[in-house]
Amino acid sequence: MFSTYNQLLKQAAKKNYAVGAFNINNLEFLHAVVSAAEEEQSPVIVQTSEGALGYAGLEELAAMVHVVVRRTKVPVVYHLDHGKDIDLIAYIIKSGLYQSVMFDGSSLSYDENVRETTKLAKLAHKNGVAIEAELGAIAGIEDFVSVAEQDAHLTSPEQAKEFVETTGCDSLAIAIGTSHGAFKFSDASKLDFKRLERINKTIDLPLVLHGASGIPTNIKNQCVKYGCKIAEAKGVSDAHIKKAISLGINKINIDSDLRIAFDAGVRQFLSENPEVIDPRKILEPATELMQKVVQQKMRIFGSAGKA
Ligand code: G3H
Ligand code: 13P
Ligand code: ZN
């Protein structure tokens, strides 16, 4: 069943856990995510990037999501991830197909980010849709050569307070040293927890952690064994995810971990079954592996059993 973004995240904030937000691009990813939520009795956010809409179609993905969500008993929110195209975001808000949208104004100046987020927040709220905003540049801590440079790009607690009060957004994606993709760190994961603690003390909204994939070693090794060149990939450790949740993170975005699970499943199956050409048979183990990964995340995030 559909729930609302604010209901899901407020509940998570009250009980100190995080809801996983998983990117989907097709039916296999959707089935894996919703089946995992059912298995773990967990609330879940299903999200599509603008790239996913370009790949599969906005109406096509929404139709699939609506059919699947209407049938399930676990609470699901359908969310637009990293919306940058203002016209598209406005269309989605008015369409009634999504419960929430993210406006990613992180590449704009602070003032422009405030201006556009405020406009979209008004439109979203008029239409009963929630809005996630972003402040700071989501980039790996190792991308910065100095503390001063980190300070200039990671989310400032003081600016975050002013930003959420001015814009009226429902949640804030913050930059504390995670980055998108499978290559986040050269060694162990490193996040700016002091900054997170200060942001959490300063603002009273659910905080969102992007770029949170863990790149589990067993899945990575399965990819590598069957030919994928990602041996150097490294993600955020489970311990750091748990610590981030304890310091106020209530929504966690995961895409790369599903991608590598899909990749591992398809590669292994094709390598071991070179005579098979049936796409249903080829995709089945990949879908099962993605479901396992999502279930594991729900246990780590503490959302399992909270449906
Ligand atoms: O944050 C980005 C997500 O991983 C989506 O990536 O734009 O390639 O669909 P994408
Ligand atoms: P990962 O690349 O770490 O999975 O991050 C995904 C994300 O933040 C989607 O918005
Ligand atoms: Zn993201």
Tokens of 263: 């990749």
Interhelix angle 58-71/27-40, rounded to 10 degrees, is: 20
Confidence of residue 140 (pLDDT cuts 50, 70, 90): confident
* pLDDT score recorded for residue 272: 98
For residue 103, the model assigns a pLDDT of 98
Contact between residue 66 and residue 95 where contact means Cβ atoms under 8 Å apart: no
pLDDT higher than 90, residue 98: yes
| Residue in this structure with the two tokens 């993709």, named with its chain if needed | 181
DSSP code of residue 155: P
Quote the ligand 1 centre to 55 CA distance (angstroms): 12
Pick from 36, 28, 77: nearest CA to 56: 28
Phi, psi (deg, nearest 5) at residue 230: -130, 30
> What is the tens place of the pLDDT at every residue in 237-253?
999 999 999 999 999 99
Pocket lining for ligand 2, CB < 6 angstroms:
23, 81-82, 180-181, 210-213, 253-257
Question: Where in the sequence numbering do the catalytic residues fall?
Answer: 81
Structural domain spans, the chain: 5-214+234-256
Report the alpha-carbon angle 136-139-145, nearest 5: 100
Which atom of ligand 2 approaches the CA of 235 most closely? 3
For residue 213, the ligand closest to its alpha carbon is: 2
CA distance 65 to 59: 10
Residue of the nearest CA to atom 9 in ligand 2? Answer: 253
Distant-in-sequence, close-in-space partners of 126: CB < 8 Å, separation ≥ 6: none
Residues lining ligand 1, judged by CB closer than 6 Å? 23, 49, 51-52, 82, 180, 255
Q: Which residue has the higher pLDDT, 144 or 37?
A: 37
Q: How many CB atoms lie within 10 A of CB 214?
A: 23
- pLDDT category, 141, cuts 50, 70, 90? confident
Best CATH choice for the domain 5-214+234-256 from the list 3.40.50.300, 1.10.3720.10, 3.50.50.60, 3.20.20.70? 3.20.20.70
Q: In sequence order, which residues have a C-beta less than 8 Å from that of residue 152 and are 6 or more positions away?
A: none
How far does residue 276's CA lie from ligand 1's centre (Å)?
A: 30
CA 275 – ligand 2 centroid, Å: 35
